[in-house]
């Protein structure tokens, strides 16, 4: 099946810094989503981005489907950005998202 | 529009018991997927329902089952609970390929 690898596994930033999270996947995908998991466990949708570039405030994402990777950019990080960021892809099986292991981000004030 | 809701939010059971979790999707969404999250295995797909039919199933034992009702609400059942079933169970409803998750049910098996 499709493999999803995220890097780095852990990231510590000073508030105000920028960061780039990477997601590599092993095969063609139909969909790709980025999520932020809050401390209570809920997955918050950040981007639905099977290809191309999108921006939402301080966050942006780019997926290069032909090269099988996606990047999530966080600019001017804030303590509220702390948490785990997941990349998930859907391959040939509908409704089945395959998740990476996540990047744990800690932003210090 | 209300989001995905899951009940109960927290549950404590003992080994050997069974449990039923409920998920109500976003209004108008007909597809519901279920996932298990554990520290060791991460987020894993359980199954997906669309219009009351199970379309896909993950690699879990038969103790894990589910169903979907005509109003798209879904339930999952775990029978003969084991300690390893302690996890956060998340459901998601889908619109045009994008999945939206509920807050989860945290199950503890003692």
> What is the residue-wise DSSP string for chain A?
---EEEE-SEEEEETT--EEEEEEESS--SEEEEEEE-TTSPEEEEEE-SSEEEEETTEEEEEEGGGTEEEEEE-S--GGG-EEEEEEEE-SSTT-EEE---EEEEEE-
pLDDT digits (tens, 9 = 90+) for B62-97: 999 999 999 999 999 999 999 999 999 999 999 988
Task: Indicate whether B17 pLDDT > 90.
Answer: yes
- B98 and A90: CB-CB below 8 Å? no
Task: Indicate whether A91 pLDDT > 90.
Answer: no
For residue A31, what pLDDT band results from cuts at 50, 70 and 90? very high
- A43 and B94: CB-CB below 8 Å? no
Average pLDDT, chain B: 96
DSSP 3-state percent helix, strand, coil across chain B (nearest 5): 5, 55, 40
The pLDDT assigned to A25 comes to 97
For residue B2, what pLDDT band results from cuts at 50, 70 and 90? confident
pLDDT digits (tens, 9 = 90+) for A51-69: 999 999 999 999 999 999 9
Task: Indicate whether A39 pLDDT > 80.
Answer: yes
Which of B42, B94, B106 is facing A95, going by the closest CB pair?
B94
Whether chain A has a CB inside 8 Å of the CB on B86: the answer is no
Nearest C-alpha of chain B: how many angstroms from A31? 7
Chain B residues lying within 8 Å of A88, measured CB to CB: 43, 99
Over residues B43-50, the mean pLDDT reads 96
The pLDDT assigned to A94 comes to 76
Average pLDDT, chain A: 95
Q: Which of B37, B82, A24, B95 lies closest to B45 in space, CA to CA?
A: B37
The pLDDT assigned to A65 comes to 94
């Amino acid at each position: 099946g499709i493999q999803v690898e995220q890097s780095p596994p852990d990231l510590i930033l000073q508030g105000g810094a920028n960061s780039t999270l990477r997601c590599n996947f092993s095969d063609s995908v139909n969909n790709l989503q980025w999520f932020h998991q809050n401390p209570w466990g809920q997955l918050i949708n950040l981007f639905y981005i099977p290809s191309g570039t999108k921006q939402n405030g301080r966050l942006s994402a780019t997926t290069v489907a032909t090269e099988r990777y996606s990047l999530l950019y966080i600019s001017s990080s804030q303590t509220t950005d702390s948490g785990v960021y997941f990349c998930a892809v859907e391959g040939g099986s509908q409704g089945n998202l395959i998740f990476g292991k996540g990047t744990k981000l800690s932003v210090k004030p | 529009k209300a989001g995905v809701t899951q009940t109960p939010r927290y549950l404590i059971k003992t080994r050997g018991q069974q449990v039923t979790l409920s998920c109500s999707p976003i209004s108008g969404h007909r597809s519901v997927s279920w996932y298990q999250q554990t520290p060791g295995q991460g987020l894993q797909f359980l199954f997906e329902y669309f219009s009351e039919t199970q379309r896909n199933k993950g690699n879990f034992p038969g103790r894990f089952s589910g169903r979907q009702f005509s109003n798209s609400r879904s339930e999952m059942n775990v029978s003969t609970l084991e300690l390893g079933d302690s996890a956060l169970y998340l459901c998601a409803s889908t619109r045009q390929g994008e999945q939206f998750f509920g807050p989860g049910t945290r199950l503890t098996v003692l």
